């Protein structure tokens, strides 16, 4: 009979995974808990299976409390307790573990207290890489974004005062004060059109038309700023990743920083799992590959050759013969750097020494393959 897992061993296992974005178990607990909380609000379903609903919710809560306590224990042992408790992850873990018990302790109705289970979804936030990228974009583009926000607020208040002045006598119940007109300006500027409140005077309708057009412009500016920021951030991340991969390839080791930057702009990365065919014999070739990490197998007539970190292949199709001469497959997880034909010619023109090295290697392989 297998021995039961002791608490210290289990806590060490959970602590080891605590540094990751989120465990699969946590994702499952969030999904199950939130769906069960939604089921709690359906009276017929809850009355028919309230024992199961309560059991699932308490199990999910117990999981999050246990996870929080293990992370506290791990932070205490590492001497980073204050840092963890005041970090975003620490605050999120604490809220998810304590919100519902505190609500129940303060006398809230159980079905109302369990609505706080929706806060469990916040645990996903620290584990989403895209949100960190969004934060960087907002920080970098804060100036333009705030400028557009100022324009939005100016249009909002100018429109509300204008429509109040034009419509207060004909629609006193709707536009009898500036706050009421401000609500109309918000729903009109955002182009949602919530409600049936519309100006009826000719000048009021002109103001409404201008507000709607301004709303499209303002949100178009916000979208354009964020899209440009995301594109720049993505290019920056890709450049850094490609630079790191290029610098590890011995073939480029002799290049200076400026030359590596030049090469980095031309290359694109490709991450492939094991047993993936990269090149098929007889196909037209329009790019060559450098192995940043991993290994590929070249299927030659009568033999198979393995190429590892720093090697390159596919150059034969770029030096004369456009047809691929062998099947090439990854043998393990590999990261490749891809150089297209046009960029290949530019690179060879800018760096003749690389051109000579590739040409010499291509001739050597051609002799070996005969």
Report the 10 Å Cβ neighbour count for 40: 21
b/e per residue, 313-351, with b = 16+ CB within 10 A? bbbbbbbeeeebbbbbbbbeebbbbbbeeebbeebbeeb
Q: How far apart are the first and last CA of the chain?
A: 62
pLDDT in tens, 251-267: 666 666 777 777 777 77
Of 5-19, 87-101, 136-150, where does mean pLDDT reach its minimum? 5-19
CA angle (255 as vertex; 253, 257 as ends), nearest 5 = 110
Is residue 14 over pLDDT 60?
no
pLDDT interval class at 360 (50, 70, 90): confident
Is residue 5 over pLDDT 60?
no
Mean pLDDT of the chain: 80
State the Cα–Cα distance between residues 284 and 245, nearest whole angstrom: 27
Alpha helix (H) ranges present in the chain?
7-18, 24-40, 43-48, 50-78, 81-86, 88-105, 110-113, 129-140, 142-167, 172-175, 178-189, 202-248, 257-266, 316-319, 341-350, 352-369
Structure tokens at 130: 């895209």
Is residue 19 over pLDDT 60?
no
pLDDT recorded at residue 132: 75
State the Cα–Cα distance between residues 286 and 299, nearest whole angstrom: 19
pLDDT interval class at 317 (50, 70, 90): low
pLDDT recorded at residue 62: 92
Report the 10 Å Cβ neighbour count for 73: 16
Report the 10 Å Cβ neighbour count for 151: 14
Do strands 287-293 and 334-340 pair parallel, antiparallel, or not at all (unpaired)?
antiparallel
Structure tokens at 15: 């602590």
The residue among 310 and 136 whose pLDDT is bigger is 136
- Whole-angstrom CA distances from 243 to 9, 37, 101, 160, 248 are 40, 47, 50, 53, 9
State the Cα–Cα distance between residues 83 and 86, nearest whole angstrom: 5
pLDDT recorded at residue 11: 43
With a pLDDT cut of 70, the percent of the chain lying above it is: 82
Q: By C-alpha distance, which of 357, 186, 29 is closest to 365?
A: 357
pLDDT recorded at residue 161: 92
State the Cα–Cα distance between residues 137 and 339, nearest whole angstrom: 29
pLDDT recorded at residue 12: 45
Report the 10 Å Cβ neighbour count for 62: 12
pLDDT interval class at 248 (50, 70, 90): low
pLDDT recorded at residue 45: 79
Structure tokens at 8: 């210290």
- In a 10 Å sphere around its CB, with 0-12 CB exposed, 13-18 middle and 19+ buried, how is residue 26 labelled? buried
pLDDT in tens, 180-209: 888 888 888 887 766 577 888 889 889 888
CA angle (245 as vertex; 244, 248 as ends), nearest 5 = 90
Radius of gyration of the chain (CA): 31
Contact between residue 15 and residue 70 where contact means Cβ atoms under 8 Å apart: yes
pLDDT in tens, 306-316: 888 878 788 77
State the Cα–Cα distance between residues 335 and 244, nearest whole angstrom: 12
pLDDT interval class at 59 (50, 70, 90): very high
pLDDT recorded at residue 18: 45
Alpha carbons within 13 A on the beta-carbon side of 24: 0
pLDDT recorded at residue 6: 43
């Amino acid at each position: 009979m297998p021995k039961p897992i002791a608490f210290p061993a289990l806590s060490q296992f959970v602590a080891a995974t605590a540094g990751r974005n989120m465990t699969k178990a946590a994702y499952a607990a969030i999904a199950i808990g939130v769906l069960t909380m939604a089921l709690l609000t359906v009276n017929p379903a809850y009355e028919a299976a309230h024992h199961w609903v309560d059991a699932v919710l308490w199990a999910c809560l117990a999981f999050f409390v246990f996870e929080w306590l293990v992370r506290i224990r791990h932070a205490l042992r590492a001497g980073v307790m204050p840092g963890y408790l005041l970090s975003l992850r620490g605050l999120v873990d604490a809220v998810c573990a304590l919100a519902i018990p505190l609500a129940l302790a303060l006398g809230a109705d159980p079905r109302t207290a369990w609505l706080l289970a929706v806060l469990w979804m916040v645990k996903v936030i620290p584990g989403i890489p895209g949100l960190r990228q969004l934060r960087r974009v907002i920080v970098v583009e804060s100036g333009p974004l705030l400028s557009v926000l100022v324009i939005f607020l100016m249009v909002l208040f100018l429109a509300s005062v204008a429509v109040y002045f034009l419509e207060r006598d004909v629609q006193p119940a709707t536009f009898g004060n500036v706050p009421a007109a401000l609500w109309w300006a918000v729903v009109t500027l955002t182009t949602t059109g919530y409600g049936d409140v519309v100006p009826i005077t000719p000048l009021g309708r002109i103001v409404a038309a201008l507000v709607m057009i301004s709303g499209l412009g303002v949100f178009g500016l916000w979208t354009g700023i964020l899209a440009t920021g995301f594109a720049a951030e993505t290019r920056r991340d890709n450049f850094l990743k490609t630079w790191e991969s290029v610098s590890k390839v011995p073939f480029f080791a002799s290049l200076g920083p400026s030359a590596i930057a030049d090469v980095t702009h031309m290359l694109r990365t490709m991450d492939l799992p094991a047993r993936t065919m990269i090149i098929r014999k007889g196909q037209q070739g329009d790019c060559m590959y450098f192995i940043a990490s991993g290994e590929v197998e070249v299927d030659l007539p009568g033999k198979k050759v393995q190429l590892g970190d720093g090697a390159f292949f596919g150059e034969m199709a770029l030096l004369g013969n456009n047809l691929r001469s062998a099947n090439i497959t990854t043998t393990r997880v590999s990261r490749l750097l891809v150089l297209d034909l046009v960029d290949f010619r530019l690179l060879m023109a800018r760096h003749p020494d690389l051109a000579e090295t590739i040409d010499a290697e291509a001739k050597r392989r051609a002799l070996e393959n005969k």
